[in-house]
């Protein structure tokens, strides 16, 4: 069984996934990490990004300047769509190959765009990490040290909170401390184990 774990930027997906992995040994595949792999130096996609945006999109090391590309694509929807059309099929290949190596009773696919990109078709169940928008913005701005306006621009490119919740089979409310998040993950883990064993849950 593959569970899709989604939520907006800074909702707490990584914090929830870390708990599934560290406390319960669940295999986690993270779409954001795959999006880094497919643009590593030497990968064809990096050359295509340079062809479009120029050499200034690279750091001195030859790696992608992610902060520079982030500024461009979240200020210009057409550029974001171009980047997604290039990267999403490559990200999907990486996800499929990683999921095929999972040996835990079930696996997690963590993705901010699970519903928007169609990646949910690879999953049997959708778990949404939900937070009030004000908290989402505050936590993200603090973590990434970016202005709230940029966080809002990224949120505009993602599904609305209500839309995401409409697809949810399960919901984690991440509006309290990490201990409260962990307790919800632990309860869901038991539920997912029961589901994989065919028990009524």
Ligand X SMILES: CC(C)(COP(=O)(O)OP(=O)(O)OC[C@H]1O[C@@H](n2cnc3c(N)ncnc32)[C@H](O)[C@@H]1O)[C@@H](O)C(=O)NCCC(=O)NCCS
Instruction: Name the residues that contact ligand ATP, by CB under 6 A.
Output: 7, 9-15, 32, 112, 139, 143, 174, 177-178, 181
Closer residue to ligand X in complex, CB, 150/184: 150
With contact defined as beta carbons under 8 Å apart, do 93 and 179 qualify? no
Asked if residue 151 binds ligand X (CB under 6 A), the reply is no
Task: Sketch the per residue contact string, 114 through 133, with ligand X: x for CB under 6 A, - otherwise.
Answer: ---x----------------
Binding partner of residue 157 among ligand X, ligand ATP, none, CB under 5 to 8 Å per kind?
ligand X
198 appears as a binding residue in the annotation: no
* Distance from C-alpha of 185 to C-alpha of 178, rounded to nearest angstrom: 10
In the complex with ligand ATP, which residue's Cβ is closer, 88 or 139?
139
Per residue in 163-172, is it b (16+ CB within 10 Å) or e — as a string?
Answer: ebeeebebbb
Q: Is 5 in the site for ligand X (CB under 6 A)?
A: no
Establish whether 111 is an annotated binding residue: no
Q: Binding to ligand X by residue 87, rule CB under 6 A?
A: yes
Reading the block at residue 46, the tokens are 């990096």
Q: How far apart are CA 95 and CA 13, in angstroms?
A: 17
The site partner of 7 among ligand ATP, ligand X, none (C-beta below 5 to 8 Å per kind) is: ligand ATP
- Give which of 127, 102, 123 is closest to 187, Cα–Cα: 127
Burial 95-116 (b: 16+ CB within 10 A, else e): beebbeebeebbbbbbbbbbbb
> Shortest approach of ligand X to residue 30 CB, angstroms?
9
What is the Cβ-side half-sphere exposure of residue 181, based on CA atoms within 13 angstroms?
A: 20
Report if residue 80 touches ligand X, rule: CB under 6 A: yes
Binding site per annotation, positions: 10-15
- Binding residues vs ligand X (CB under 6 A): 9, 31-32, 35, 66-67, 69-70, 73, 80, 83-84, 87, 91, 111-113, 117, 154, 157-158
């Amino acid at each position: 069984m593959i569970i899709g774990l989604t939520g907006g930027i800074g909702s707490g997906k990584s914090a929830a996934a870390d708990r599934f992995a560290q406390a319960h040994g669940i295999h986690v595949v993270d779409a954001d990490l795959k999006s880094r792999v497919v643009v590593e130096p030497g990968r064809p996609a990096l050359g295509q990004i340079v062809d479009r945006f120029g050499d200034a999109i690279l750091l001195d090391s030859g790696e992608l300047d992610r902060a520079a590309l982030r500024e461009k694509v979240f200020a210009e929807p057409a550029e974001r769509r171009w980047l997604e059309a290039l990267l999403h099929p490559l990200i999907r290949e990486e996800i499929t190959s990683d999921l095929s190596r999972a040996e835990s009773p079930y696996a997690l696919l963590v993705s901010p765009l699970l519903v928007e990109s169609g990646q949910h078709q690879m999953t049997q169940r959708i778990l949404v990490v939900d937070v009030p928008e004000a908290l989402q913005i505050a936590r993200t701005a603090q973590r990434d040290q970016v202005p709230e306006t940029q966080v809002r621009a990224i949120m505009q490119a993602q599904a609305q909170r209500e839309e995401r919740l409409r697809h949810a089979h399960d919901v984690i409310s991440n509006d309290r401390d990490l201990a409260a998040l962990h307790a919800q993950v632990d309860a869901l883990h038991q539920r997912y184990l029961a589901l994989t064993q065919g028990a009524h849950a």
